[in-house]
Amino acid sequence: MSTAALAAKAPDYVRRISPYVGGKPIEEVARELGLAPERIVKLASNENPRGPSPKALSAVASAAADLTRYPDGNAYALKAALSRRLAVAPEQIVFGNGSNDVLELVTHAFLRGGDEAVYSQHAFAVYPLATQARGATGVAVRARDFGHDLPAMLAAITPRTRVVFVANPNNPTGTWIEPERLQAFIASVPAEVLVVLDEAYNEYLEPSQQAEATRWIARHPNLIVTRSFSKAYGLAALRIGYGVMDAAVADMLNRVRQPFNVNALAQAAALAALDDVAYVEESRRLNREGLAQLASGFARLRLRALPSSGNFVLVEVGDAVRVYGALLREGVIVRPVANYELPQWLRVTVGLPEENERFLAALERALAA
């Protein structure tokens, strides 16, 4: 049997998936363009340009002393710390190999062929992927002003809908929904439909903007709130995130979860990072300044950019493929978003001040060429 014929034996819903394309790694750009890695600026994956808290780094070093034992599959210490922080029971928390894993666990536990999942146009690419991987049907609802059209999403719910995904703030658009509107939406979703509220960028919001969504779960047991250690906490390489949900929903996710899905280094780092509140605050402050720096750069270049509540911004550059390529050749990696139905735009992660400056200067040259 030829390998093509072998691949054809995969279910057609798997063969129809277009694989996720991430930000281009620094090493790959260095290899392909013959540039020195240390000269390359990566503003493509919404990572924290400051890196992780030094406390997280030293926790990793200590944990690295024992790589022989399996990690705690129940993440006891981290779960206890987080449950205190969020005032939820430990049984309500499910850790994942990145919050991406938690999104997968939701679809694994709750979707089968014929079911539907609702999400917004321009919303995070993992929602359609995780839905399709279960043979379920994704229903993308047309965006409104680049953000979630909540009334239209509500109207898209049918008796077949099992899950609704909402990203707040949304990636890649940076749009944000006020807590009051979000809560009213959740209250309107039928009780038998799960709402996954993806708060991967929650820590970048000003404290006054942060919804206390995990507290809504008591009243809305169909709500799952997911968060990540990859973005503001700067631990993307370790892969750790979590979901907070009703204990009965967590029980279902745990049945399909790999017993050791979160490694020991990630657990140790996350525990230390959680404690370093000042580090996150400083990251938020630096991000706010970086957003302002980029906004004034775009204004100077007469480019339209969307107001962003995350650590990234969408900017309209016209021929995005060409501009992306020109930036790459200067050693600046950003993210094309044609796969999000935004072919004229690029997504740029907020970097350190000098990285933002390098990007803006390269962008100016790219647009003039």
Ligand X SMILES: *Cc1c(COP(=O)(O)O)cnc(C)c1O
| Closest distance of CB 121 from ligand X, Å | 14
Q: What separation, in Å, do the N-terminal and C-terminal C-alpha atoms of the chain show?
A: 51
Residues 161/118, Cβ–Cβ less than 8 Å:
yes
Write phi, then psi, for 305 (nearest 5 degrees). -130, 150
Q: Which of 236, 252, 338, 352 binds ligand X (CB under 6 A)?
A: 236
Burial track 44-54 (b if 16+ CB lie within 10 A, e otherwise)? bbbbbbeebbe
Rounded CA gap, 295 and 301, in Å?
A: 10
| Closest distance of CB 9 from ligand X, Å | 30
Q: Which of 48, 92, 99, 311 binds ligand X (CB under 6 A)?
A: 99
Nearer to ligand X, 134 or 231 (CB): 231
Q: What is the DSSP string of 149-198?
A: -HHHHHHT--TTEEEEEEESS-TTT-----HHHHHHHHHHS-TTSEEEEE
167 binds ligand X (CB under 6 A): yes
| Closest distance of CB 93 from ligand X, Å | 14
Nearer to ligand X, 232 or 366 (CB): 232
Which single residue is written with the structure tokens 């808290």? 53
Site stretch for ligand X (CB under 6 A), options 29-37, 83-91, 96-104, 338-346: 96-104
7-46: contacts with ligand X (CB under 6 A):
46
241 binds ligand X (CB under 6 A): yes
Site stretch for ligand X (CB under 6 A), options 98-106, 129-137, 265-273, 332-340: 98-106
Q: Which of 171, 175, 287, 349 binds ligand X (CB under 6 A)?
A: 171
Rounded CA gap, 118 and 259, in Å?
A: 29
Contact residues: ligand X, CB under 6 A: 46, 98-100, 124, 167, 171, 198, 200, 228, 230, 236, 241
